[in-house]
Structure 1
Amino acid sequence: MPATLSASEAATAIRAGKLTSVDLVQQCIDRIVKLEDKVRAWSFFDPAYALEQARDADRRRQAKVPLGALHGIPVGIKDIFDTRDMPTENGTVLHAGRRPTEDATAVALLRGAGAVIMGKTVTTELAVYSPGKTRNPHDPDHTPGGSSSGSAAAVAGEMVPLAIGSQTNGSVIRPAAYCGVYGYKPTRGLISLYGALAQSAPLDSIGMFARTIEDLALIADQLMVFDGRDPSQIPYARAALSDILAQKPPTPPRIAFVKTPAWPKAAAETQEAFSQFAQTLGSHVTEVALPDSFDKAIDCHSVIMLSDLAKSFAREYERGRDQLSPTLRNMIEDGQKRLAVDYNLALEQARRFYQSLQQIFADYDAIFTPATTGTAPRGLEATGSPIFCTLWTLTGVPAISLPLLKGASGLPLGVQLVAARGDDARLLRTARWLAGYRGAE
């Protein structure tokens, strides 16, 4: 069935004339119609408009005009990215009916690559902690994670092969792990944030979800384009992720097993599963302890994030604090009390953390660590703990969640790999090696 194809497979078939975008999009629509009452991944979905885009994609192919790498491929867009032809409501009643007149840069780049913008996926309230309506496709009684809940669930439910999201703490890696798909948060600053909801400039990153690592590289390659409207971006040459991913590592990767100070928070079955997995990797993995100073990383991230939430959502707080969730309202009020000196000290400490991590990355290709404390928690009142993502978001390094393990319940248990800033291509290549590892090397 076309809906079960990877994005890379579908793009190749469309380009060769063996599959039409209309057929692919229609099957995705059928999946959405079948599963949406259970999964609730979409905040805006117009099947007629999706098919209109698909028909235009097929006409362009028949006309033999140049085609983008995602030509005719449906993509879900987290509802914090501005879309000129769809509402962008950011998961809050305060923005209900909001209609941007311009696409976010990431959306514009996807359109330029030929993607069919399938619709807007559910986000938590202002992309923080208060859950949206989305359920975990593996078991609707469990959280899908957040804040990119709809994007992860839509890919896991085979509603779309690709979706984009964002991460300020654990909002890509955690829902990818809970929903059992691949999730990738690139090095901060590689993808423009222009036109996306701002939370915290030192922490915000754009990420993506897919069912294969090759698909992550495919969509990321289309988005890693310099945009002068985003002050966090620095123009420099970058490696084509897909090209390097296709290469075999010149030597078997060296991986550091880093438990991090969050290890005591992991469920017993998570600790056991990761310890056993590390053992199966044999000489390829070495356990490495972080200095005691990393115990302060969670507090450091909290100071930065809460301070910036108070700044970024000052307008929402002043005009509609009673319509904010108690959780978000309390976070904003906490951030209002933070001192500028503490904020700047936290930024400086984050730089020191990365300097320490560089010593590990000098000796190892990647760090191996849990993506979450365990499988998706039962209940829909919260989105689970991001604690195993916090350090890596704070330091701006690339991270990927791999759906390689399962808990006793059968729910997915994500494996997280992280690497040095800018080493995204090697990270994805190492991730592919790990996903295919059978102990034969």
Structure 2
Amino acid sequence: MRVRGVAGPHRRAGVVSTAVTASLQETARTVAAGSTTATRLVEEALERLAATEPDIHAWVTVAADAAREQARRLDAGSHRGPLHGVPVGVKDIIDVAGLPTECGSPLRAGRVAGEDAWVVARLREAGAIVLGKTVTTEFAYFQPGPTRNPRDLTRTPGGSSSGSAAAVAAGVVPVAVGTQTAGSVIRPAAFCGVASYVPPVGALSYEGIHPMCPSLDTAGFFATTVEDLALVRAAVGGWSEVPAPRSDAPTLLLMRGDELGPVEPEMADALERAVTALRGDGARISDATLRLGPLEDDHVTVMEYEAAVSMRTELATSPDRLSDILREMLVKGAAVGEASWAAARARATAQRDLVTGLLGEADAILLPAAPGPAPEGLGATGKPTMSRPFQLMNLPAVAIPGMRTAAGVPLGVQLVGHPGREAGLLATAAWVQARLQE
């Protein structure tokens, strides 16, 4: 990790302390009221990073000096926007001007970005301060980086946005940016016990982000609460209003997840507890009559085909510098015909029409965010089975924390919504989160 201007940390064992820090919404209010400063927020973030990073390994580059300088400029000027002075982490496939974008691979070592990615520029316009770059799996695929789960250091934080999820879970930053092609924002949030949001593909510009699969790639966000995600989404999107939690009980369609793949007993139990709690507060929940399992294979087809196109140069010139799992995927993708890719996309479009039709009468689909809690060990990042069909259909999703196993390991549920109703999905998810906190 490159660190510039951070005091030496201490090492701890076991579970990293994840004491609750102020929410993003609360921080924004205190900054606007003059009760704190951007400089103080940055210093607090750097102190927390120094205390947790030896155990978690969430960061690949920390731009402490640049963050301090930006904070000084913000403190000396007028209020910049809704994220004024807020430190953020940025996944290391996303360009930040003056910092390396290495994509978790030696093939990108030393490559320094000349300008900010679109999403980073929008965060800065809203007043956010980039604290540094967070760890990604290799080219945002499945080969893990060094990051560990702050809730249990023996478990994976998920991937591919592993560092972003862990940085928020450890309380270093209130917001981090990730990307999702399969389940790379929803799954890490579930494993690390934080909230995350994935907008529909194309809702946010992908300019300045290393592409993998253009029809599947999207930027997303991590925060401690859904309300904080709503603030970030509104700020980046230029929305005139921040979606507030809805006041009335929603109508939800329930998928137990076993339609998509095996669900572990602890996750199945947590989902039933969630349904009971939500119904107790008036939510109308009915079983979804959806058969989306075949879309997982279609997602794999589209992902392999498009990844092989995007990374054909790397496969042709440096196959020995790619991990086995990535190289094998690219070789398989190179053998996928365009007709197979087009057929998979067509099936997804047909299913999307069916799902959005059902969502005309309901607010969201409720289902597990992952098959279970974060798996033990750091050699893999878990399975994205609960996200693949929805990412292929380009539907927005929110990971909602609050449930836990008997041993206290986080379990996340997710809501999937209509692509044209992002604000409504966030409002519904905030209502749900308020009722699932244990």
Mapped contact 1:245–1:426 kept (Cα < 8 A) = no
Match of 1:306 among 304, 307, 310: 304
Matching residue's letter, 1:286:
I
CA drift of 1:438 comes to 8.0
SS at match of 1:118: strand
Contact 1:121 1:151 in 2 (8 A): yes
Matches for 1:19-34 after TM superposition, within 5 Å:
19-34=36-51
Select the residue among 92, 95, 112 that pairs with 1:79: 92
Among residues 58, 62, 65, which one is paired with 1:45 in the alignment?
62
AA paired with 1:364? A
1:125 aligns with 2:133: no
1:114 aligns with 2:127: yes
Structure 1 pair 336/405, CA: closer, same or farther in 2 (3 Å)?
A: same
In the alignment, the residues of structure 1 paired with residue 290 and residue 147 of structure 2 have an alpha-carbon distance, to the nearest angstrom, of 38
Matched, 1:70 2:72: no
CA gap 1:148/1:57 in 2 versus in 1, 3 angstroms? same
In the TM superposition, residue 291 of structure 1 has moved relative to its aligned partner by 4.0
Hey, what does 2:253 align to over in structure 1?
256
1:147 aligns with 2:145: no
Which deviates further from its counterpart, 42-51 or 70-79? Answer: 42-51
2:26 maps to which residue?
A: 9
1:263 CA displacement: 5.2
Matched, 1:330 2:328: yes
Q: Which moved more, 1:2-11 or 1:104-113?
A: 2-11
Equivalent position to 1:295, from 293, 296, 307: 293
Contact 2:403 2:436 (C-alpha < 8 Å) held by counterparts:
no
Q: Give the aligned partner of residue 284 of structure 1.
A: 283
In structure 2, C-alpha distance between the alignment counterparts of 1:291 and 1:10, rounded to whole Å = 41
| Structure 2 equivalent of residue 173 of structure 1 | 186
Q: Which amino acid aligns with 2:43?
A: Q
Q: Distance in 2 between matches of 1:77 and 1:6?
A: 19
Work out the CA distance in 2 between the residues paired with 1:261 and 1:393: 18
* Higher mean C-alpha displacement, 278-287 vs 103-112: 278-287
Task: Determine the structure 2 residue equivalent to 1:245.
Answer: 244
Secondary structure of 2:70's partner? helix
Name the amino acid aligned to 1:75: V
Choose the corresponding residue for 1:386, options 361, 384, 387: 384
Cα 1:133–1:388 shift into 2, 3 Å: same
- TM-score with structure 1 length normalisation? 0.91
Q: CA deviation at 1:290?
A: 3.4
C-alpha distance in 1, partners of 2:142/2:352? 26
1:318 equivalent in alignment to 2:319? no
Q: Which amino acid aligns with 2:286?
A: E
The alpha-carbon deviation at position 320 of structure 1 amounts to 1.2
Whether 2:197 is the aligned partner of 1:189: answer no
The letter of the residue matching 2:177 is I
1:229 is matched with: none
Preserved CA contact (<8 Å) 1:156 1:179: yes
Q: Post-superposition shift, 1:66?
A: 4.8
Cα shift at 1:264: 4.7
Tell which deviates more after alignment, 148-157 or 265-274. 265-274
AA aligned to 1:17 is: G
- 1:11 and 1:291 map into 2 onto residues whose CA distance is 41
The answer for the alignment partner of 2:399 in structure 1 is: 401
Shift of 1:334: 0.4
Query: Could you report, residue by residue, the CA deviation over 1:380-399 in whole angstroms, capped at 9, with x for unpaired residues?
Result: 00000110011111111110
Tell me the alpha carbon deviations over residues 64-87 of structure 1, each in whole angstroms, 9 at most, x when there is no partner.
Answer: x35221111101000111111111
Select 1:272's aligned residue among 269, 273, 287. Answer: 269
Match of 1:231 in 2: none
1:69, 1:280 → 2: CA distance?
33
Per the TM alignment, residue 262 of structure 1 is displaced from its structure 2 partner at its CA by 4.1
What percentage of aligned pairs have identical amino acids? 39
1:35 aligns with 2:52: yes
1:286 Cα deviation from its structure 2 partner: 2.9
2:270–2:411 contact (8 Å) kept in structure 1: no
What amino acid sits opposite 1:269 in the alignment?
E
Kept in 2: contact 1:398–1:422 (CA 8 A) = no
Give, as a single letter, the amino acid of the residue that structure 1 aligns with 2:31. I
2:285 partner SS: strand
Deviation of 1:14 after TM superposition, in Å, equals 1.6
Match in the other structure for 2:150: 137
Is 1:418 matched up with 2:416?
yes
Shift of 1:436: 2.0
What is aligned with 2:7? none
Gaps of 5+ in 1: 226-238
- Structure 2 residue aligned with 1:56: 73
Tell me the TM-score normalised to structure 2 length.
0.92
Q: 1:26 to 1:219 in 2, by over 3 A?
A: same
Q: Structure 1 194/333 Cα, relative in aligned 2: closer, same or farther at 3 Å?
A: same
SS of the residue corresponding to residue 387 of structure 1 reads: coil
Give the C-alpha shift of residue 113 in structure 1.
Answer: 1.3
2:56 touches 2:150 (CA, 8 Å); kept in 1? Answer: yes
2:216 aligned with 1:219: no
Q: Deviations over 1:310-365 (max 9, x none)?
A: 01111111221101110000000000000110100111111011011023202211
Using the alignment, how far apart are the partners of 1:25 and 1:172 within structure 2? 25
Deviation (angstroms), 1:295: 2.6
Q: Distance in 2 between matches of 1:429 and 1:83?
A: 31
What code does the residue aligned with 2:84 have? H
Q: Which position in structure 2 is the counterpart of 1:205?
A: 218
CA contact (8 A) 1:3 1:160 kept: no
Total equivalences in the alignment? 418
Unaligned runs of 5+ in 2: 1-18
User: What SS is found at the alignment partner of 2:191?
Assistant: helix
Deviation of 1:437 after TM superposition, in Å, equals 3.0
Question: Partners of 1:277 and 1:214 in 2: how far apart?
Answer: 19
Residue 434 of structure 1 deviates from its aligned partner by: 1.2
Structure with the higher helix share, 1 or 2: 1
Q: Distance in 2 between matches of 1:241 and 1:332?
A: 43
SS of match in other structure, 1:437: helix
Q: Distance in 2 between matches of 1:281 and 1:73?
A: 33
- The one-letter code sitting in structure 2 at the alignment partner of 1:23 is R
Question: Is the 1:217–1:241 contact (alpha carbons within 8 Å) kept by the matching residues of 2?
Answer: no
